[in-house]
Chain A
Amino acid sequence: MFKTTVAAIALTLGAATPVLADFPERPIQIIVPYSAGGSTDLGIRVVADALESKFDGLRTVVRNQPGGGGGIGTSAAVHARPDGYTLGAGAQGPIAILPHVGGADYTVDDFEFVGLFSRSLQLLVACKDAPFNDYDSFMAYAQTKAPQIGNSGAGGANHVSAEAFAKAAGIKIESIPFGGSSEARTACIGGHIDAMVASPAEAKTAADAGQMTPLFVMEDKRIDLFPDTPTAVEKGVDFTWSSYKGLFAPKGIPAADLDWLRNAVKEVASDPAFIAKMTEMGEFVTYEDGPAFEARVKKDSAMSKAVLEDLGLLGMNK
């Protein structure tokens, strides 16, 4: 916290001095819309660390502003002064989904996308004592009874992804919301739900220990960690979904600064030490520039809107 305070003072002081040196001459603040210690927070901290070691003299400050499903912190970053010194952690939920649910004072068009540096791949896994153990038996079961699929919160990313799959595959599911992903995981390992959406890293350990069984991967090709697990695409369901981590800026930041930031994200995303660290955390490091990131977010946003409309959640909190 002291770090934040110091940085806040530094920011105020910095604002008073005339701009002489090149961007960035002051610490860059990155707003994370979740509590410290979550996967988005840790990912951003690794990025901040990499930025500091890559660019000599650059200081970064990670600022956590949790609450409202990520809407509060994201709103703070969207409405920050567009000088390039305040960025937001681009997380799927608050950017692509929350504006449709309501309670957010921004839309998907209010972001200046800097770059995406990692994707969080997703799998559907069967929990302990589930009445199915692979894709085919899951689909067969779903014809007779709606499987109970746990998620980390109503209207959150993995609620939408599970329902989006059900919509694409033409099956019915019963979504069971929990207060966060670790609660859902506990219920899954304990056999209190049938299935859940998990990341490859957590699914791998749990599958090795016999706690979960992977059903399918939400990518268009099989992934290295699970060579024997099919994708929905190869089973004939046109469905892919992944979450991501990136950076965005408020609209209207100077073009030169935006270029500098975009390049910085690109450099970090190709740094071997960064890739190693993120991979250990179970992230799939990949780089997408601003426009590609924007296109991805808009596609998710459209898909989420359709799903939320079906669920009757569209504009629920407006």
Chain B
Amino acid sequence: METLSYLAPLAQLDVLWTIALGTLGGLIIGALPGLTATMGVALLIPMTFGMAPVMGLNMLIGIYIGGIYGGCVSSILLRTPGTPASAATVLDGYPMAQKGHAGKALGMATIASTIGGLIAAVVLATLAPQLAGIALEFGAPEYFALALFGLTIIASLSGDILKGAISGLLGILISCVGADPISGISRFTFGIQGFASGFAFTPALIGLFALSEVFTQIERLASKEPPVTLVKNRWPSWADMKESRSALIRGSFIGTLIGIIPGTGSGTASWIAYNEARRSSKTPEKFGTGHMPGIAATESANNAVCAAALIPLLALGVPGDVVTAVLMGGLMIQGLAPGPMLFQTNPDVVVGIFGGTFIATIFMFIFGMALIPVFSKILMVPRRMLTISIVLFCFIGSFSINLNPVDLYTMVGFGVLGWGMQKFGFSQAALCIALILGPMLEANLRRGLLQAGDNLTEFLSGPITLLFLALTVLSLGWPMVAKALARKSNARPEITE
């Protein structure tokens, strides 16, 4: 009963209004390439100074949830990941939009984000203290094994395994630029100060996916191509939903689990979810051509991360990702120190945040669905003008993050690289995954070795490490085993069921 009374402040009109505004603002921030959810939350923290904790924090959570969702809009419509979290959505979202099903793709993304968000929110509200412990189990060997497992996605995502491996290795090499994670020495920066922290991630992604597509479009401008005809429908059919059901549920739970592990984030979660959906699908060949379950997997996963990342933050005082680290700052300013004590000292705030997470997710669904027709209109803009606007956004978005001119060179460089890769059949996705996981792999391998006195057996012990290593072997070996099994059963058809 007491718990319910803590929910009362959420029913106040001004609180609801603030959450709605935060969610809508986040959605727009997320949809604009280069403006990330992290930035939205950070810039609005001063606005919460004068607000009651529940109101201010829920506004920030609204921005976070709306921002991660909003990223899918530009991913699907323009092939420009609005936030790094929705880079994986590009794979199936953009082809769908090109076929005229932008509305449906956005509809599925909205539904998936909502379901992912709600499932993670239920987990947050019911199991936060119990599950938070997982976050603490991850030491260097565990992170290393997780990153290694994540990298196996490259093998299954790229049709040509050799080209996929080349793309992945290139990504890992690129991620070596910048300060060495252990000794701090500058590597491969050629004395350019702007590269001291390596290539900035979001400009690299914008170049890799968006600018490269612009180049491809320009090549096609000469040929007369029929414009995209828009199909108005925005609700996926029951058949679509049924097809995407398992991808949705998998995505939600993968997102929840990855969200709890600190320092991984929604980028990792959506790639793993995409890969798992593809692996378990009966029609894996359809992925990447505009297949709904692909969108369902990535979007349910990245929004599940939002609520799940709050679990270690609230229960342990350990932020699950960059945005929650900023949110932690917001909590501290309110005089609330997140951690195990918060549940005892300020249960009203904890329950208020649980409730706010649900409310923000529901607002996200309403705004998302309502705005789809507006967003889809972007595709009606004549191709030439749209292309020019995307170029403009690529530049503004890349510059606005760090106000570092070097990031513009990064963006253009990756644009040319992405265009070349696309032209010669190298997977841009593989490069993107390697950029996300390469630094995690390296830093944790070396930190682990440092801590264990260069003893490699450290990386072969502990249940979580072994689990991920086993998954890695399985994920790489399974296609071969499956093939062998299929051959066997073909040879002796009487055994098949």
Contacts and interface: CB of A to CB of B under 8 A. Distances in A.
| Chain B binds chain A | yes
B320 to A, nearest CB: 9
Given A185-B318, A189-B136, A280-B334, A317 B325 contact: no
B413 interface: no
Interface stretch (A30-38, A116-124, A131-139, A229-237): A30-38
Nearest to B198: A67
B184 A36 contact: no
A112 to B, nearest CB: 22
Contacts of A39: 329
Nearest to B334: A280
Contact of B39 (A36, A101, A174, A186): A36
Given A37-B326, A191-B136, A201-B337, A69 B332 contact: no
A190 B184 contact: no
B177 interface: no
A266 interface: no
A115 B329 CA distance: 24
B341 A205 contact: yes
Contacts of B341: 205, 208-209
Interface stretch (B11-19, B398-406, B421-429): B398-406
Contacts of B197: 66-69, 72
B333 A69 contact: no
B325 A37 contact: yes
B340 A209 contact: yes
Interface stretch (A15-23, A176-184, A289-297): A176-184
Interface stretch (B42-50, B100-108, B161-169): B42-50
B316 A176 contact: no
Contact of B333 (A105, A179, A280): A280
Contacts of A35: 38, 42, 402
A124 B39 CA distance: 31
A102 B183 CA distance: 13
B245 interface: no
Interface stretch (B114-122, B291-299, B443-451, B483-491): B443-451
A176 B447 contact: yes
Interface in A111-155: 128, 148, 153-155
Nearest to A148: B451
Contacts of A81: none
B347 interface: no
Nearest to B39: A36
Contacts of A182: 262, 318-319, 325, 328
B332 A201 contact: yes
Interface residues of B, number: 57
A67 B401 CA distance: 11
Contacts of A210: 340
B236 interface: no
A310 to B, nearest CB: 15
A208 B345 CA distance: 12
Contact of B337 (A4, A204, A277, A313): A204
B145 to A, nearest CB: 14
A63 interface: yes
A201 B328 CA distance: 12
A192 interface: yes
A268 to B, nearest CB: 15
Interface residues of A, number: 66
A186 B262 contact: yes
Contacts of A64: 402-403
A82 interface: no
A75 interface: yes
B155 to A, nearest CB: 27
Interface string A229-247: 0000000000000000000
A124 B97 CA distance: 55
B159 interface: no
Given A66-B197, A103-B186, A190-B138, A177 B42 contact: no
Contacts of A176: 447, 450-451
A1 B262 contact: no
Contacts of B194: 67-68, 72
A92 interface: no
Contacts of A185: 317-318
A186 B45 CA distance: 23
Interface in B310-325: 312, 316-319, 325
Contact of B140 (A174, A192, A202): A192
B243 interface: no
B392 to A, nearest CB: 14
A312 B329 CA distance: 35
B222 interface: no
B329 A37 contact: yes
Contacts of A71: 193, 196
A39 B186 CA distance: 25
Interface string A163-178: 0000000000010111
B57 interface: no
A282 interface: yes
B403 A187 contact: no
Interface in B4-47: 35, 38-39, 41-43, 45-46
A280 B46 CA distance: 14
A248 to B, nearest CB: 19
A211 B38 CA distance: 27
B473 interface: no
Contacts of A179: 181, 263, 439, 443
A41 interface: yes
Nearest to A3: B43
A211 B35 CA distance: 36
A37 B41 contact: yes
A71 B192 CA distance: 12
A67 B404 contact: yes
Given A174-B450, A179-B263, A282-B332, 4 more contacts: A36-B38, A37-B45, A183-B262, A209-B340
Across the A-B interface, give the 8 residue pairs with the lowest CB-CB distance, nearest first: A154-B184, A37-B326, A36-B42, A68-B196, A37-B42, A190-B136, A205-B337, A192-B139
Interface of A: 1, 3-4, 35-39, 41-42, 45-46, 48-49, 63-69, 71-72, 75, 101-103, 105, 128, 148, 153-156, 174, 176-180, 182-183, 185-187, 189-193, 201-202, 204-206, 208-211, 277, 280-282, 313, 316-317
Interface of B: 35, 38-39, 41-43, 45-46, 49, 135-140, 179-186, 193-194, 196-197, 200, 262-263, 312, 316-319, 325-326, 328-329, 332-335, 337-341, 400, 402-404, 439, 443, 447, 450-451
30 contacts: A3-B43, A36-B39, A36-B43, A37-B38, A37-B41, A42-B329, A46-B46, A65-B402, A72-B194, A102-B186, A128-B136, A148-B451, A153-B184, A155-B184, A176-B451, A177-B181, A178-B447, A179-B439, A180-B325, A182-B318, A185-B318, A186-B312, A189-B316, A189-B317, A189-B318, A202-B317, A209-B317, A280-B335, A316-B183, A317-B184
